[in-house]
Each structure stands twice: as structure tokens, then as C-alpha cells.
Amino acid sequence: METFQAQYDRYRAAVEEALQGLFLRNKPYRRLQEAMRYSLLAGGKRVRPVMVLAFCEALGGETQGALSLGAALECVHTYSLIHDDLPCMDDDDLRRGRPTCHKVYGETMAVLAGDALQAEAFRLISIAPGLSAEQRIEAVHALSAACGGDGMVAGQVLDMDALAHSEEELRDLCLRKTGGLLAAAADLGCIAAGADGSVRRQAASYAEHIGLAFQIRDDMLDVIADQDEFGKPVGSDKEEGKRTFVDLLGLERCGELVAEETRLAKEAIADLQCNEFLLELADSLADRRK
């Protein structure tokens, strides 16, 4: 039987191979493509496309189409990181242990690289192999809702304008900014497998709880992590005056909440067949150090 780590590595390798094949055209604007690939291929855990593949496979679907959906999701995630790091937003110099896109290619090219990655994501969905037209439309709807004006972008506005002060408001921010793309990952995997509405709702609940646990753990790591291991500046949230779960609740309570949200995530898919990998994924994200 395949171990959790072996399965994760298999999914991740497939994702990396798919991403390596993107944006290789030799055009006069190749510097744009270089900037896109610089951030897209910067590594990372690839949690979101891995989750797409894991849900699709657990539900008995063919992973060829799911891989295209996962690559599309990673393009959107990367665009959000490029823009998040810009001087007009978080003004970060490091991402995944190396200089951010705007530090290497300049602010203008970083903005354009992010813009292009977002558009390319929906092109990838439109040509995803092995999926019906209806599945592609569902996938476009799921991803656009997750990253649009009521999703990730709305969460970024709440974050930048410091509009979240209570635990309830922080949870709402998190569900939009962090949880949105994780929920999209679970849903895209279900869509690729042709799952029904009931299973998609279970997957959404799992991902929403994972998203909350992920963000709370991220807030904790911004205080306690080793910067070299974390891959980005530690303490940046405090320097930027952002309200975090740690500010509001303290480290001990945050640890309890990570455990609670992880438990709820696992309960949401308890009766899903072939759920072993997804259960272990929840635990691994709760214990992560970077």
C-alpha cells in the first residue's frame, strides 16, 4: 500500500511536470514568460493542486483532466502571491526563500506576470482533456467564485484595510482569502471526478476547515518559525499592523483551534471512501513548520 508521503510525492511530481511545460513560447515578450515561470516554478508544497488530484482519485475519477485543473489553480495562487508581495500591498522581499518577483523583474513586470497567470488559468480549464463542456463550465465557475470579488480578492481588501478585528471577522477574512482557493481545490477535484452535489458539499466543508486551520497555523508560524525554514520574513504581520489570530487569542488557544478545525475537517469526509490520504493531509498541514 502506498504511504502518505509516497502518494503526496507522486501528486506533486505530476503537478511539477505539468507546470514545467507551461509558458515556453519564444516570443518578443519572453521576459513576461520568464517572470511568470520564475514565480510559478519557485517550489512550495503545491497543496492546492495536490488536493485537486487527491479528491479526484479518491472519487474514482481520471486524473488527466484534474491535473489541468490543478495547474490552473496553481496559476491563480501564484498570481495572488506575486501581487500580495508588491510594495503597494505587503511589500515583501522574500517568497519561498528567494527574492520576490518584483525584486527580480521590477514592479511593472510583476503586475503583468500576475495578470497573465490569472488569465492563463482559465485558458487551461477551457482545454482540460477528458472533461465535458459542462465540467469545464463548472470548473470555471468554481475557480472564478473562489478568487473573485466575493472570494480571495475580497479577503485581501479586508486584510489590507484592516477591517477584521473580532474572531468572527478574522474567520470570514480567512475563508475568503486563504480558504477560498483550498475550497476550490476540493471542488475542482470533485468536478473532475463527476461527483454529485452531496459529495461536493462534504469536500467544501473539509476544505473550509482546512483553510481555517492553515491560516491560524500560518499566524502562529509568523511568530514562532525559523525564518530560513519558513521561507519568508517572520514577524511581518506585526510590522504591517495586521490583526491576526495570535493577537486576538494567543498562541495556546490558536494551537487548540488548529486541532479543532483539523478534527472538523476530517469528520466532514469521514464516510468518504478512499479518504485515507485526505485525512493524513489534514494532520500534516496542522503540524507544518513552514
Here the CATH number for the domain that contains residue 260 is 1.10.600.10
Categorize the per-residue pLDDT at 132 as very low, low, confident or very high, splitting at 50, 70 and 90: very high
Categorize the per-residue pLDDT at 239 as very low, low, confident or very high, splitting at 50, 70 and 90: low
Calpha distance 37→157 (Å, rounded): 27
Instruction: Please give the grid coordinates belonging to residue 103.
Output: 525584486
* Per-residue pLDDT, 25: 75
User: How large is the average pLDDT for residues 107-123?
Assistant: 98
Q: Is the alpha carbon torsion for 269, 272, 277, 280 positive or negative? A: positive
* Per-residue pLDDT, 96: 86
Number of domains in the chain: 1
Half-sphere exposure of residue 201: CA atoms within 13 angstroms, side-chain side: 3
Residues 248, 253, 255, 256, Cα dihedral to 10°: -130
Q: Across the chain, what does the average pLDDT equal?
A: 93
The single residue listed with the C-alpha cell 500580495 is: 84
User: How large is the average pLDDT for residues 252-256?
Assistant: 95
* Per-residue pLDDT, 231: 53
End-to-end CA distance of the chain: give it in Å, rounded.
Answer: 28
* Per-residue pLDDT, 94: 92
Calpha distance 266→133 (Å, rounded): 32
Categorize the per-residue pLDDT at 242 as very low, low, confident or very high, splitting at 50, 70 and 90: confident
* Per-residue pLDDT, 226: 67
Calpha distance 188→201 (Å, rounded): 12
Regarding predicted confidence, which is higher, 246 or 1? Answer: 246
Kind and range of the H or E run holding 39:
helix 30-40
**Is the pLDDT reported for residue 24 higher than 60?**
yes
Range of the domain at 90: 4-286
Categorize the per-residue pLDDT at 63 as very low, low, confident or very high, splitting at 50, 70 and 90: very high
Residues 6+ apart with CB under 8 A from 76: 117, 118, 121, 143, 147, 152, 181
